[in-house]
Copies of this chain bind each other. A is one copy, B any other.
Amino acid sequence: MENIYTYHRLFIFVNAVFSSMGCSTKDAEIATKVLLSADLRGIDSHGIARLNGYLRLWEAKRVNAKPEIKIIHETPSTAVVDGDAGLGLVVAPYAMKIAIEKAEQVGTGWVSVNNSNHFGIAGTHAMMALEKNMIGIAMTNASALVAPTFSIERMLGTNPIAVAIPAGKEPPFVADFATTTAANGKLELLQREGKEAPIGWVQDEYGNNVSDASILKNNGSLLPLGSDRQHGSHKGYALGSIVDIFSAVLSGASYGPWAPPFPAYVPMPVDMPGKGLGHFFGAMRIDAFRPAEDFKNNMDNWIGRFRNAKPIAGQEKVLIPGDPEREIEKIRMEEGIPIPQSLVIELNTVAEKMGIEVL
């Protein structure tokens, strides 16, 4: 059973929860907007479904609702930001804004962040660059769930990469993907539905390919994009590693298997080599390379050509990265956002605890 809520109604609810945690008015609004952008774009695993998770991190004092986020080192094109254990939902837009400001000054801006927490969906942060006629890049490390090629140990998070590229008449190109074969959210969905996972998504504790969607609860691990060595899993492993290093080693956050876990009940790793979770953001001004109009005309041509690439029989058309999410966003803005009944119950428990109006 699902209930449909307007974006507006959910905004008021989530905003009230963040405010009740002690976030400033401005921070609560930013966090709400970022969190709900996932629900709008159809990435339900990263939206309001995680609200209780953020709350638990705050209760466990792993999230600071009143962070003093600051730049601790910078050059004309770079900065390192200390998130002061704030919500990644708030720290990330702060850092992305710095990347954009640096790009305005010297062409590009690159910001690595330490001492942060889960930042929602990467795509939302990358897309901040679009209205400035810039290419936006966002990535983050995350709790270790992924085994490198040839390994049975969880060493990396699903470490997503997002790249947003402006076009002219066409909507922008927005890629946003985990560097694993499948995101953890998709696995959670299969578990809820009691379904099996395709072979190639996960392995068991011995490294066998299995279809058990709940294998992560039994020491299994997610597989890097490519699934196995023969199909390029070493490339997915390299990509996830690059995200980890740019986000966490470059900033002084905690990397690899020491990345702080999202579930508040999981103990923090011992001997963490850095502070909190790490992110990495980039902004490149289009006209730091060529006139923005020329670029956008070419992007329109690029997008049009790819959308009209000959489809496989039975497929309607070839998609441009960002197409599916934009279509869902349009529908959900008009028709509302469906929330499963079990989640409504969980959210209303949160509401009662925090003394705010139930959904």
Contacts and interface: CB of A to CB of B under 8 A. Distances in A.
Interface of A: 73, 75-78, 80, 105-108, 110, 112, 135, 147-153, 155, 163, 165, 173, 175, 177-182, 198, 200-201, 206-207, 225-227, 230-232, 234-239, 241-242, 244-246, 249-252, 255-257, 273-274, 284-286, 288-290, 294-295, 298-299, 301-302, 305-306, 309-313, 315, 317-319, 321
A36 B238 CA distance: 24
Contact of A289 (B73, B201, B255, B305): B73
Contacts of A231: 181-182, 198, 200-201, 226-227, 231
A124 to B, nearest CB: 17
Contacts of A257: 305
B181 A232 contact: yes
Contact of A177 (B178, B232, B255): B232
Nearest to A197: B230
B234 A225 contact: no
Contacts of A152: 310-312
A237 B177 CA distance: 11
A299 to B, nearest CB: 6
A155 B306 contact: yes
Given A149-B319, A206-B312, A227-B231, A75 B110 contact: no
Given A152-B312, A155-B309, A226-B225, A76 B177 contact: no
Given A155-B305, A177-B232, A241-B306, 7 more contacts: A110-B284, A151-B311, A225-B225, A249-B299, A255-B302, A256-B302, A273-B298
A90 B173 CA distance: 32
24 contacts: A76-B77, A78-B107, A78-B289, A150-B319, A175-B238, A177-B234, A177-B235, A180-B232, A182-B231, A198-B230, A198-B231, A207-B313, A225-B225, A225-B232, A225-B235, A226-B231, A238-B321, A239-B239, A241-B321, A249-B302, A250-B286, A251-B290, A256-B302, A273-B298
Contact of A75 (B107, B178, B230): B107
A80 B6 CA distance: 46
A198 B226 CA distance: 13
A232 B165 contact: no
A289 B226 contact: no
A259 to B, nearest CB: 12
A249 to B, nearest CB: 5
A318 B313 CA distance: 41
Given A175-B242, A249-B295, A110 B108 contact: yes
Contacts of A153: 309-310
A310 B231 CA distance: 21
A73 B250 CA distance: 29
B285 A151 contact: no
A255 B298 contact: yes
A51 to B, nearest CB: 27
B310 A151 contact: yes
A1 B274 CA distance: 53
Contacts of A245: 165, 173, 299, 302
A332 B151 CA distance: 28
A204 to B, nearest CB: 11
